[in-house]
């Protein structure tokens, strides 16, 4: 048996080892360049030629960088001839893997290679040449850059990201997750998302969530979660199943967007809309229709709701109450206090005919509910339409005015007391009886009119307001009120309205 095998071996045509080596080198996928000690290329396989656009070359090593288009890793700076791996190998150095950017006629868009080189030595250890081996890493570099971009995106995004395996065990969370929840990666790795469970949702909610994602569908919803410190936060979450190469779900990716502040804002806006609806209902109540008198009023809040207040009350003995007030500030807090002021005033005005007592009772009721620094101004007139006589009380409010038939001011209704809400037991007083005559106009305003400014900080002022009423005194009362508002806004010349604007008029025919 062995003899027959040996005979067959002897009968084969012997192969030249050099040819075998050369053929192997030429068919390698990696680029191989062998040069003699003068730098003349002896071997340059096909892979190398496809990158360098040359074959066996007789150029000096000094010109390699320029001829082949060799650049440093920045892709801009040309290699110094002595710094190329081949030149360093001819100098006796074993060059480790080095990154080179190649751009030439063969590769106008450029390729990236990793090259290493070694010197070739003869039997006496003298350098007789060099060998360079390199491989194209352009695709790998692009892939690495793509992966790095994705990694940076995940690491730097403002939304929390959590990656779990199919069983729900946490494998990774990004820095935003750590910031949102207070948990670090080390603390949550290997645990389940149940660490965030707040107790707000019932078990059926989570059962439906898991059924959705394990069936291959994306879950989207707002979830109440719990931070490490126990605080509840709301998050818009998207949970996406990830599939492996076999088509089986391998991981679950959760994106967590903290919407706690947005949810609070939505709730505030909802409350604001409710308050506005209530307030607008008050503002839209019909004015009294009494022969010989024409009433009008309007409020224009600076926000969706405001702290200005006006009202017409039907009082005992066929009298009419006319009120205008201003709760310090504007917005929902002031609007709610305005509603409270209205309720107290209406209740006490039905129980007592003395305006001083009505103000004293209203003040005491408000004091306990007003925050420190909050107060309300109010002017309230009690009119007897049968005689045209009235009395008024004013708690720190902007003065009211009576204009005669010619538009001249015949009486100023000055404040006679401190605003409501400062002192719980303060006694309030009212005026002596006054009388409205034919052609008179009773005008009551809030400081949103008088304090409105134009860009140069000039205030609209009471004189402009009274002048507007005087000029337009023959118009309908409601037209005067709305026209006055437009006049104030035109005067402001584009500046935002910073305070509520309210006006109440009573014209005597």
Can you give the pLDDT at residue 50? 78
Helix (H/G/I), strand (E/B), else coil: 285: coil
pLDDT of amino acid 278:
63
pLDDT, residue 493, reads: 92
Domain 285-508 belongs to what architecture? Answer: 4-Layer Sandwich (3.60)
Could you write out the three-class secondary structure of 125-168? CCEEEEEEEEEECHHHHHHHHHHHHHHHHHHHCCCEEEEEECCC
In 3D space, the residue among 333, 405, 341, 348 whose CA is nearest the CA of residue 378 turns out to be 341
The two counts, helices (H) then strands (E), for the chain are 15, 21
Crossing angle of the two packed helices 332-351 and 355-367, in degrees rounded to 10: 140
Q: Is 170 helix (H, G, I), strand (E, B) or coil?
A: strand
- Cα 189 to Cα 171, 208, 251, 336, 407: the distances in Å are 5, 24, 14, 49, 80
For the purposes of burial, counting CB atoms within 10 Å of the CB of 23, is it exposed (0-12), middle (13-18) or buried (19 or more)? exposed
- Domain spanning 157-263 has what CATH number? 3.30.450.20
Provide CATH 3.30.450.20 ranges for the chain: 15-141, 157-263
Residues of the chain with pLDDT below 50 are: 1, 13, 55-56
C-alpha triplet 409, 414, 418: angle, nearest 5° = 165
Start-end of CATH 3.60.40.10 domains in the chain:
285-508
What is the C-alpha separation between 391 and 433, in angstroms, rounded? 5
Q: For domain 15-141, which CATH number applies: 3.30.365.10, 3.40.50.10190, 3.30.450.20, 2.60.120.10?
A: 3.30.450.20
Predicted local confidence at residue 13, as pLDDT: 46
Closest by alpha carbon to 379, among 338, 434, 321, 437?
A: 321
pLDDT tens per residue across span 468-504: 999 999 999 999 999 999 999 999 998 988 888 999 9
């Amino acid at each position: 048996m062995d003899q027959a095998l040996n005979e067959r071996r002897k009968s084969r045509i012997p192969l030249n080892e050099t040819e075998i080596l050369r053929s192997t080198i030429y068919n390698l996928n990696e680029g191989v360049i062998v040069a003699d000690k003068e730098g003349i290329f002896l071997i340059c396989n096909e892979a190398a030629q496809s990158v360098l656009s040359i074959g066996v070359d007789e150029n000096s090593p000094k010109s390699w960088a320029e001829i082949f288009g060799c650049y440093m890793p920045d892709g801009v700076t040309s290699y110094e001839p002595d710094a190329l791996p081949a030149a360093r190998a001819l100098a006796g150095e074993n060059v480790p893997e080095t990154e080179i950017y190649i751009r030439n006629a063969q590769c106008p868009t450029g390729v990236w290679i990793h090259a290493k080189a070694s010197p070739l030595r003869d039997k006496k250890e003298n350098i007789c040449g060099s060998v360079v081996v390199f491989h194209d890493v352009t695709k790998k570099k692009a892939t690495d850059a793509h992966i790095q971009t994705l990694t940076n995106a995940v690491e730097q995004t403002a939304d929390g990201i959590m990656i779990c395996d199919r069983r729900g065990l946490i494998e990774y969370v990004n820095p935003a997750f750590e910031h949102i929840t207070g948990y670090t990666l080390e603390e949550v790795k290997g645990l389940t998302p149940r660490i965030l469970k707040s107790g707000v949702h019932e078990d059926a909610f989570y059962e439906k969530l898991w059924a959705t994602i394990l069936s291959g569908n994306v879950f989207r919803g707002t979830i109440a979660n719990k931070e490490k410190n126990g605080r509840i936060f709301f998050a818009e979450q998207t949970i996406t199943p990830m599939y492996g190469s076999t088509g089986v779900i391998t991981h679950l990716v959760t994106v967590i967007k903290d919407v706690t502040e947005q949810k609070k804002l939505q709730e505030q806006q909802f409350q604001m809309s409710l308050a506005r609806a209530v307030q607008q209902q008050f503002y839209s109540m019909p004015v009294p229709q009494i022969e010989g008198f024409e009433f009008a009023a309007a409020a224009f809040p600076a926000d969706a709701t405001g702290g200005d207040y006006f009202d017409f009350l039907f009082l005992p003995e066929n009298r009419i109450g006319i009120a205008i007030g201003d709760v310090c500030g504007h917005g929902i807090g002031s609007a709610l206090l305005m509603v409270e002021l209205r309720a107290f005033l209406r209740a006490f005005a039905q129980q007592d005919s003395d305006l001083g007592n009505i103000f004293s009772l209203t003040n005491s009721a408000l004091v306990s509910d007003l925050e420190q620094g909050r107060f309300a101004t109010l002017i309230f007139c009690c009119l007897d339409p049968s005689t045209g006589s009235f009395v008024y009380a004013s708690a720190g409010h902007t003065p009211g005015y009576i204009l005669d038939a010619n538009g001249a001011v015949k009486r100023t209704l000055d404040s006679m007391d401190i605003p409501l809400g400062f002192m719980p037991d303060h006694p309030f007083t009212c005026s002596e009886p006054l009388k409205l005559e034919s052609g008179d106009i009773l005008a009551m305003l809030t400081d949103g009119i008088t304090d409105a400014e134009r860009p140069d900080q000039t205030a609209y002022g009471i004189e402009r307001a009274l002048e507007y009423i005087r000029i337009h005194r023959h118009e309908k009362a409601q037209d005067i009120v709305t026209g006055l508002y437009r006049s104030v806004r035109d005067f402001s010349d584009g500046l935002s309205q910073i305070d509520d604007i309210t006006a109440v008029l009573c014209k005597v025919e």
